[in-house]
């Protein structure tokens, strides 16, 4: 009987970011009573982030979320274990090339106050020696993408913007050189609730449209459930839970339950 061979399965995509048994420790301050002279900020963390995924790192203050972001872009180097970005250890990457390959958005945007909006957004393309006409076109494209009229906002300074507008510029700057990976460290945390909700919804739509690999840090369970394709919960530097948003609230773990209990803390409407 003449039968065709079964097709081989498609190989799984390699992780865009692969954290392998990473521990990061710091020396304890003099006078602190510790069994060990070192304290782990991140402890034996392993996780993979796949292309196009929005992975949210959820956890309380001090749980290791920001430390993990800094390990990904080599602002910190693991005490043990390794972090791979696009299958290369961060210690092998040239750190400048690595950081220009990754967009980074922080709370309050971190814009240069003496630069215009256009200069802030075009900073990395300028460092990459793009032609000025190409930079100008990219700045216009990105300001429109994040909902800012380039004719109105390009020449403004950060002090002339609202908090929400500064965060939009921060996102545009992170996207300027079209990096495949975005790291976002509580980018909407300092905003008022209305502006924060607007930007969360807009960012969710933007993430789906662009298909970037995103690692997003937050301590807000609602934000995590809205934005994530997967939630990883950190406690005391360790991963204690990992699940898709629809599964996460059903996990049986004390720290998961502590966060999901916050979902019932909506203020009552006054009569």
Q: In this model, does residue 2 exceed pLDDT 50?
A: no
**Looking at the domain assignment, is residue 158 inside a domain?**
yes
Both structure tokens of 94: 């040239």
Give the model's pLDDT for residue 110: 84
Give the model's pLDDT for residue 34: 61
**Looking at the domain assignment, is residue 124 inside a domain?**
yes
Contacts (Cβ under 8 Å, ≥6 apart) of 252: none
Between 28-37, 159-168, 180-189, the lowest mean confidence (pLDDT) is in 28-37
How far are the Cα atoms of 35, 84, 127 from residue 47, in angstroms, in the given order? 28, 11, 32
Rounded CA separation 17/53 (Å): 10
Q: Grade residue 1 by pLDDT with cuts at 50, 70 and 90.
A: very low
On whether the CB atoms of residues 220 and 205 are closer than 8 A, the answer is: no
Q: In this model, does residue 12 exceed pLDDT 80?
A: no
Give the model's pLDDT for residue 31: 64
For residue 24, give the H/E element and its range. strand 17-27
Give the model's pLDDT for residue 269: 40
Q: In this model, does residue 108 exceed pLDDT 80?
A: no
**Looking at the domain assignment, is residue 169 inside a domain?**
yes
Q: Grade residue 35 by pLDDT with cuts at 50, 70 and 90.
A: low
Q: Are strands 213-218 and 54-59 parallel, antiparallel or unpaired?
A: parallel
Q: Grade residue 13 by pLDDT with cuts at 50, 70 and 90.
A: confident
Tell whether pTM > 0.85: yes
**Looking at the domain assignment, is residue 135 inside a domain?**
yes
**Looking at the domain assignment, is residue 70 inside a domain?**
no
Among positive and negative, which fits the CA dihedral 117, 224, 191, 147?
Answer: positive
Q: What distance lies between CA 256 and its chain's CA centroid?
A: 21
**Looking at the domain assignment, is residue 152 inside a domain?**
yes
Q: In this model, does residue 271 exceed pLDDT 70?
A: no
Among positive and negative, which fits the CA dihedral 222, 223, 229, 233?
Answer: negative
Residue 148 is part of which domain span?
102-179
**Looking at the domain assignment, is residue 136 inside a domain?**
yes
Q: What distance lies between CA 140 and its chain's CA centroid?
A: 24
What total number of domains does the chain contain? 1
Rounded CA separation 21/43 (Å): 8
Burial class, 180, CB count within 10 angstroms (exposed 0-12 / middle 13-18 / buried 19+): middle
Mean pLDDT of 173-179: 93
Between 23-32, 53-62, 79-88, the lowest mean confidence (pLDDT) is in 23-32
Give the model's pLDDT for residue 265: 57
Buried (b) or exposed (e) across 195-227, using 16+ Cβ within 10 A?
bbeebbebbeebbeeeebbbbbbbbbbebbbbb
Q: Grade residue 191 by pLDDT with cuts at 50, 70 and 90.
A: confident
Could you tell me which of 61, 68, 17 has the C-alpha nearest to residue 42? 68
Tens-digit pLDDT profile for residues 204-227? 998 888 899 999 999 999 999 999
């Amino acid at each position: 009987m003449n039968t065709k061979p079964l097709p081989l399965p498609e190989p799984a995509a390699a992780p865009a970011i692969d954290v392998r048994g990473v521990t990061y420790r710091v020396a304890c301050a003099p006078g602190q009573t510790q069994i060990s002279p070192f304290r782990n900020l991140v402890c034996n963390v392993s996780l993979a982030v796949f292309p196009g995924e929005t992975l949210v790192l959820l956890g309380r203050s001090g749980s290791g979320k920001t430390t993990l972001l800094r390990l990904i872009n080599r602002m910190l180097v693991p005490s043990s274990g390794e972090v791979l970005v696009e299958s290369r250890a961060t210690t092998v990457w040239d750190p400048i090339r690595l950081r220009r390959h990754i967009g980074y958005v922080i709370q309050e945007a971190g814009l240069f106050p003496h630069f215009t909006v256009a200069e802030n957004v075009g900073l990395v393309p300028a460092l990459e020696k793009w032609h000025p006409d190409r930079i100008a076109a990219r700045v216009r494209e990105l300001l429109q993408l994040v909902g800012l009229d380039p004719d109105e906002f390009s020449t403004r300074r950060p002090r002339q913007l609202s908090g929400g507008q500064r965060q939009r510029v921060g996102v545009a700057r992170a996207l300027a050189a079209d990096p495949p990976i975005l790291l976002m460290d509580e980018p909407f945390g300092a905003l008022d609730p209305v502006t924060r909700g607007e930007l969360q919804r807009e960012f969710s739509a933007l993430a789906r449209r662009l298909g970037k690999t995103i690692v997003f840090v937050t301590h807000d369970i609602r934000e995590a459930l809205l934005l994530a394709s997967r939630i990883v919960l950190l406690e005391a530097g360790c991963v204690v839970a990992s699940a898709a948003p629809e599964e996460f609230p059903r996990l049986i773990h004390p720290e998961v339950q502590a966060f999901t209990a916050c979902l019932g803390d909506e203020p009552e409407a006054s009569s």
